[in-house]
Structure 1
């Protein structure tokens, strides 16, 4: 599927909530006229899968009739699998843009590491495909996606208009407020905030133990430039994300402090030279 000259850009849409989720429908409706849309999404919810890929069993890719008139497929694998299969087996090329979402629930702060929504977008960015993950701070299946659709379109238009930098990846979260109450968007950093987790221990009818993961979200970041602050103050948060996890400040520090010096007390082994006599000519 090569893009002809002056044709519309190819936009790949995926998610982690599954192809039947209202969120992916909302994202499609928001941007469907901005490009040639192709949808490849999981056939079931894959929240919290992070950057997992399927290697232990085969993947299934089935055409879907949920989006008439466009190429849409459900995939038996993870969100990252969806992007990989879309590029290799559906598009046979890299799309011009990858959009992931709209997720039911936030993916701010540390959640970006666990998020299937953001991992799908990150997989695209690794392949140098400009990518955005969209999340609405409402877990409800009946969530109002109106404001999220507005900002998904605004940001998609900007991504298509501006020549993106290499490996561009944005994490966009939309607060759960009507569009009229949202103040706009802010370019933010990722907050240092996480869940203080614990496991509730219970027993099933046969008396065997099982566990439910629970926790309370705690924000340790008091700055006014973080995604958590922006969302709490009725702004859409836009966080530029990277997949290079190198801590460059620490790298520089360790290069100075841990400078490797050869140990002169250890002598290199002496190689014994064995002379071989030439065979006598007959």
Structure 2
């Protein structure tokens, strides 16, 4: 139908009961019909991982006018693939991941299940956005992010995004946002990533932890600088990982 409302597919990696996805649904509902397919429990750090060793299952959680919610036993990327294959009656106009509890700036984009949602949507040719807040608190305050989430999603619905390009949007944990900064990904790496956790006399148990070393701390065009200074950081992100600048050089090697 020509007057169909936009169809928005939503997922996350914190699980169906996380406050972040509930807030995201609330912010997006005025923009179109929302279908949610989210993991049945938290699956943070799964990136684009797929479930291949066992079947996955989904079930209906809630159905209202303009909103249908499902939960799925798989990973975030599984949720997107399964939604396209089973519950959507047409190709969505937008895929949205989040709102994640914890930022996905800098190299975190590679590990993030939230961005796994976004990358999968992008690979399927749908404009896709990931939203994250710099707070891991279960009851984090998403109020200030709401108008930005709605405006960014509305603009992407209107204008679209280039092929194989998605948006990684991060919010500082403050109610006094200064506006938007369009950023590049901060360069850096995680260090001291494991903490020993002796268990019943066995010292070979470890918890994943770590500290991020920011190699661009004074660079005002990065996502970390924007977040540290109270701005919403929007980083355009490509899923084509080809190093085009290296192609001609490699041709001389072989």
Report the TM-score when normalising by structure 2.
0.95
Structure 1 CA distance for aligned equivalents of residues 49 and 98 of structure 2: 17
Structure 1 residue 73 corresponds to structure 2 residue 55: no
Unmatched 5+ residue regions in structure 1? Answer: 261-282
How far apart are 1:8 and its partner, in Å? 0.4
Q: Quote the residue 2:211 is aligned against.
A: 216
User: Which of structure 1's runs of 4+ aligned residues deviate more than 6 A?
Assistant: none
| 2:127–2:160 CA contact under 8 A, matched in 1 | no
Residue 250 in structure 1 maps to residue 246 in structure 2: yes
Deviation at 1:68, TM superposition (A): 4.1
Residue 241 (str. 1) matches residue 242 (str. 2): no
**Partners of 1:109 and 1:54 in 2: how far apart?**
26
| Aligned residues: CA RMSD | 1.4
- Counterpart of 2:199? 204
Corresponding position of 2:92: 95
Q: Is the 8 A contact 1:111 1:194 kept in 2?
A: no
Q: State the Cα distance separating 1:207 from its structure 2 match.
A: 4.0
Kept in 2: contact 1:23–1:101 (CA 8 A)? yes
Q: How many residues align?
A: 252
Q: State whether residues 130 and 168 of structure 2, in contact with CA within 8 Å, keep that contact through their aligned partners in structure 1.
A: yes
1:210-232 deviation line (CA, Å, top 9, x unaligned): 11122112100142111111111
Q: Answer yes or no: is the 8 Å Cα contact 2:165–2:239 preserved in 1.
A: no
Partner of 1:185: 180
- Secondary structure of the 1:241 match is strand
Over alpha carbons, which structure has the higher Rg?
Answer: 1
Matched, 1:64 2:61: yes
Greater CA deviation, 144-153 or 245-254?
245-254
Displacement of 1:142 after TM fit?
Answer: 1.1
Q: TM-score, normalised by structure 1?
A: 0.86
Unaligned ranges ≥5, structure 2: none
- Post-superposition Cα deviations, 1:132-184, rounded to whole Å, max 9, x if no partner, equal 00000010001000122221111011111114322330000001111xx2111
| TM-aligned CA deviation for residue 194 of structure 1 | 2.5
CA distance in 1, matches of 2:3, 2:53: 42
User: In the alignment, is the contact (CA less than 8 A) between 1:197 and 1:213 conserved in 2?
Assistant: no
Instruction: Note the C-alpha offset of 1:21.
Output: 0.4
Give the secondary structure class of the aligned counterpart of 2:42. coil
The alpha-carbon deviation at position 73 of structure 1 amounts to 0.4
